[in-house]
Amino acid sequence: MVAFKGVCTKPFWRAVSAEFLATLIFVLLSLGSTISWPASEGSASPVNLVLISLCFGLSIATMVQCFGHISGGHLNPAVTVAMVVTRKLSLAKATFYLSAQCLGAIAGAGILYLVTPSSVRGGLGVTMVNSNITVGHALVVETVITFELIFTVFATCDPKRTDQNGSAGLAIGLSVAIGHFFVPYTGASMNPARSFGPAVITNSWDNHWVYWVAPLLGGVLAAALYEYLFCPNPVTKKPHMNFYFKKELECTAFALHN
């Protein structure tokens, strides 16, 4: 019960609700970029990979900037689990964060589904493994691109660093955009909630487990390597008595016993 001590506080629920709303907005905006409207006079051309990558990246950067100071701006179960593994987030809070992220993703995908005509809705941005690659290849791709994302999150949000002058949100957004150049392989999820939302709305579950296992694995690996190998917390050593202080104690002890 100690782990759930802060559950009834306003800051706790403010953070959880922020994760829900931020994930909802992110999924709604980013999945919207995958909708392919037919080109016509006076309208935009069909979407392409660069536009999708930029939309996902800029959406996540914006949400991190907006909600980061409230909840940490996770918006991603891979980030949340990585924080738990490195003891930066309690298991109790992580449980609520994961629920909020998944529900927010479902709500965001659901809103997009309702406002998009069925003729152009398509797969609603559901992540799918390319038929030309194996599930094993998909696992590798998702693990690697999520590793890149989570490593960026930890590196840019590291309070131990004093050399940063840029925007953490923008750096994270750019890492998401870069990962989306692997869309032809797996849809470039990097985020189990982002895949879960449209999967629920469209009832599409082919190889869905890949988008949970690989991102969580990649995230944990990135977090562990960053925190415990590349940039560990400084070890606080117990102060040692210097030579002169030790001699003073020895002299005092000698005087007391003689």
Q: From CA 130, how far away is CA 144, in angstroms rounded?
A: 17
132 contacts 50 by C-beta, under 8 angstroms = no
- CA gap 172, 51 in Å, rounded: 17
Distances (CA, A) of 115 to 112, 135, 222, 226: 5, 33, 38, 42
Residue range 27-50: mean pLDDT, rounded = 76
Q: Is the pLDDT of residue 88 over 50?
A: yes
pLDDT value for 164: 77
List pLDDT tens digits, range 106-160.
999 999 999 999 988 889 999 999 999 999 999 999 999 999 999 999 999 998 8
Residues 38-44: contacts with CB under 8 Å, at least 24 apart? 38/120
What integer pLDDT is reported at residue 48 of this predicted model?
A: 85
pLDDT given for residue 161 in this prediction: 87
pLDDT digits (tens, 9 = 90+) for 185-213: 999 999 999 999 999 999 999 999 999 99
Residue reference for tokens 């590349």: 230
Whether the predicted pLDDT of 258 surpasses 50: no
Dist CA 118 CA 98 (whole Å): 30
pLDDT over 70 percentage in the chain:
85
Summary mean pLDDT of the chain: 88
Model pTM score: 0.86
